Structure 1
Amino acid sequence: MSWQLTEQDLPDLARGAAVLGTGGGGDPYVGQLLARQAIREHGPITVLDPDELDDDTLVIPTAQMGAPTVVHEKLPRGSEPVDALRALEKHLGRAADATMPIECGGINSMIPLVVAARTRLPVVDADGMGRAFPELQMETFGVYGVPGSPMAIAGERGETTVIDTGADNKHMEWLARGVTVRLGGVAHIAEYAMTGAQVKRTAVPRTLTLALTIGRAIRQARERNADPIAALAEALSHTLYAHLRVLFRGKISDVERRTEAGFARGRATAQSFDGQHELELRFQNENLVALVDGTVRCVVPDLVCVLESEQAEPITTETLRYGQRVTVVGISTPALMRTPEALAVFGPAAFGLPYTFTPVEEAAVGTTA
């Protein structure tokens, strides 16, 4: 059933998207500001349930691309994702009937809302990652047969280009990353154009609703002085992301972060409050793996989320810093993200990690909480 998204929904949506972003996906606060301005100028946004799409509907997802460390400092004008959409429409010779997120985490939960408000298109309540991932081929769309190209890229000065690599989504990512670096480290894109039938077959459903549910659960728990992490676990238990495990509680002791080849890469460590245990996080834009005392407790594609200990406010990889008191949780992903086909594209080996994927509900047994 379709529904209207208003300005009042944005703070909860941004908070929930930051949780789903697993430390990456770009700053959702910046996205919230862009979406708020677009809604104020153009009115509320219609959100479509994927099951409502006609099979021949043309859906063109829109997004921001770049290193979060750059996005944090290089704010978009706001018109760039519409420029990318229009460039791809022109190349395809057909106008889009709706837009959609490619990922539900971070700023990319918001960019399609900006496009939807500015163009008066509806936005589909679904995405292709069920979280955030750093590379464009890491989409359930591509896993299940939808090519990412042709794709359009737009820069802040009105530049646009179209990349077409056929069914080779990894090569598309490589070329698009190079263009993005030369545009200053951040760009806006339109890609994975598909039919309504393909959306229903390949997308992770209702993830905008999920982000709203997460953000609202955390806020309401704070308002009644309840445990926001317990409230988050309860809210997730009724969704496709049913399992939340507390992996670690402690204080950030070190952060190593660098921006290279269009990504923010690095690691962070934390010490437990009793000084008996150590956490190591490794990230490439997003948190990829959490090790407690050297043992893997959660690894991609499951979500590793760093939350501020008292308020459960999500902390992104570009804002991790020494001394933060954190609770790190692992959250399970839906079944279509754990198939052999999906793990081949965005499981541990896809990031060069020497680990075998084990679901967080099994790997997190015996963690320090």
Structure 2
Amino acid sequence: MAHTSPAAAPGAFVAASDVAALAAGAAVFGTGGGGAVHTSQVVAEQALQEHGPVPLVTVDDLGPDDLVMLMSGIGAPTVGIEMLSSRHQIDLLVREAQIAAGRPITTLMAAEIGGSNGVGPVGWAARLGLKLLDADGMGRAFPSAAMVSMNVAELPCDFAILSDVVGNVSVIKTIDLHWLERHARALTVASGSICLGAHYPMTAETARGAVVEGTVSAAIRVGHALLSAADPVQAVAAELNGAILLTGKITDLDRRTEDGFARGSVTIAGTGADRGRLQRLELQNENLVVLEDGEVLVSVPDNVTIIDAETGQAISTEMLRYGQRVAVLAWACDPIWRTPRGLELAGPAAFGYDLDYVPFKEINR
């Protein structure tokens, strides 16, 4: 069963005034991936200003006629900075998804709350006149289509739709999510390494227990803590019940785009009270592993985000630069990822690391 977080209050809405906090929080939940939030924030704010607030609903609010559809961007975040989606891309995508589903879509849900993928759906819902589910499929960001809570819950995915910026649309039906990842990634690379996607049509019955609830509200709370606190770094850590592992400066950065992913590592040398310490973070769109003196401090599926040491703003993988003053923030993942199937899909071994997963809180006890 997916973990249920505190969810939206009855009659809740996301308004244009909430988007800055949502974007700041989603950037933190992105754990380095999900795409930089700035462009999605601007687009979502404009959509909400033009079309009004979006109803934010819980799984319990869904009725028998509601159909939820996961929405996301897919591809390399490094490319997404330069190649923006077209204005009509989302309209085409949802229209094709409704044809495949055979019924109207009433509610959108972010495939991942992290990064731009946590912000984009609220703007899309505003433009389309749809509701937004206070939930997502990860509770963070992950790089693979198979790494979603619905797959942990063994909920089948009936189809997926991809659209690219020039108007190509692909309908994909695969035997499992691993095959979906392979097919969707190949199509995305062929389209310049960025597409928009819709998949996992769900009803109230199938969504219950299969999604990570309350994550839109959680991202807004984290964003408000970050934007309003005198010490935003500590405020965000406290809101997430997390810890700052290191404060320092980026001294080495190896980042490249391969097969639709941003891959590499970043090295951070401690400053101030952390002077003399050195940490290396392994990257694959998201921050996956933190090492210091040969010891693994944190690994997937637990969460690691690099944030600005002064402002607390998250720095996505594609925006990392040599010399940046940063802090390494870590916190525990949603409990669904600590189940045997969750670790099979998104634990260290799923990313090719030969190491045992140790829960973050246990490491830091």
Normalised by the length of structure 1, the TM-score is 0.93
Percent sequence identity over aligned pairs: 40
* Residue-by-residue CA offset, 1:185-213 (whole Å, 9 max, x unaligned): 10001001111122221111110101100
One-letter amino acid of the counterpart of residue 247, structure 1: L
C-alpha displacement of 1:5: 0.9
C-alpha displacement of 1:139: 0.1
- Kept in 2, the 8 Å contact 1:62–1:85? The answer is no
Return the match for 1:189 from 197, 214, 236.
Answer: 197
Aligned to 2:212: 204
C-alpha displacement of 1:38: 1.5
**Cα RMSD between the aligned structures?**
1.3
Rounded Cα–Cα distance in structure 1 between residues aligned with 2:200 and 2:235: 35
Aligned to 1:126: 135
Aligned to 2:254: 256
Aligned to 1:87: 96
Aligned to 1:219: 227
Aligned to 1:239: none
- Corresponding position: 1:172 with 2:176: no
Rounded Cα–Cα distance in structure 1 between residues aligned with 2:168 and 2:235: 45
Structure 2, unmatched stretches of 5+, are: 1-9
One-letter amino acid of the counterpart of residue 344, structure 1: E
Deviates more, 1:292-301 or 1:61-70: 292-301
Rounded Cα–Cα distance in structure 2 between residues aligned with 1:54 and 1:200: 12
Rounded Cα–Cα distance in structure 1 between residues aligned with 2:347 and 2:64: 30
- Corresponding position: 1:110 with 2:126: no
Aligned to 2:350: 350
- Corresponding position: 1:334 with 2:334: yes
Aligned to 1:29: 38
C-alpha displacement of 1:348: 0.8
- Corresponding position: 1:278 with 2:287: no
Rounded Cα–Cα distance in structure 2 between residues aligned with 1:180 and 1:282: 24
- Kept in 1, the 8 Å contact 2:237–2:329? The answer is no
Rounded Cα–Cα distance in structure 1 between residues aligned with 2:215 and 2:318: 24
* Residue-by-residue CA offset, 1:165-224 (whole Å, 9 max, x unaligned): 13x110011000011111111000100111112222111111010110001001110xxx
Aligned to 1:5: 14
One-letter amino acid of the counterpart of residue 300, structure 1: V
- Kept in 2, the 8 Å contact 1:146–1:194? The answer is no
Rounded Cα–Cα distance in structure 2 between residues aligned with 1:2 and 1:331: 30
C-alpha displacement of 1:334: 1.9
C-alpha displacement of 1:56: 5.7
Total equivalences in the alignment: 354
Which SS does the other structure have where 2:238 is aligned? helix
One-letter amino acid of the counterpart of residue 362, structure 1: E
Alignment CA distance shift 1:78-1:207 (3 Å): farther
Higher RCO by CA contacts (8 Å cutoff, separation 6 or greater): 2
- Kept in 1, the 8 Å contact 2:236–2:312? The answer is no
- Kept in 2, the 8 Å contact 1:78–1:114? The answer is no
One-letter amino acid of the counterpart of residue 270, structure 2: S
One-letter amino acid of the counterpart of residue 115, structure 1: W
One-letter amino acid of the counterpart of residue 82, structure 2: E
Aligned to 2:5: none
* Residue-by-residue CA offset, 1:298-337 (whole Å, 9 max, x unaligned): 1111111101111111111111111111110111112112
Runs of 4+ more than 3 Å apart: none
Rounded Cα–Cα distance in structure 2 between residues aligned with 1:316 and 1:16: 12
Rounded Cα–Cα distance in structure 2 between residues aligned with 1:57 and 1:338: 30
Normalised by the length of structure 2, the TM-score is 0.94
* Residue-by-residue CA offset, 1:204-259 (whole Å, 9 max, x unaligned): 111010110001001110xxxx32222223323xxxxxx30221111110000000
Structure 1, unmatched stretches of 5+, are: 237-242
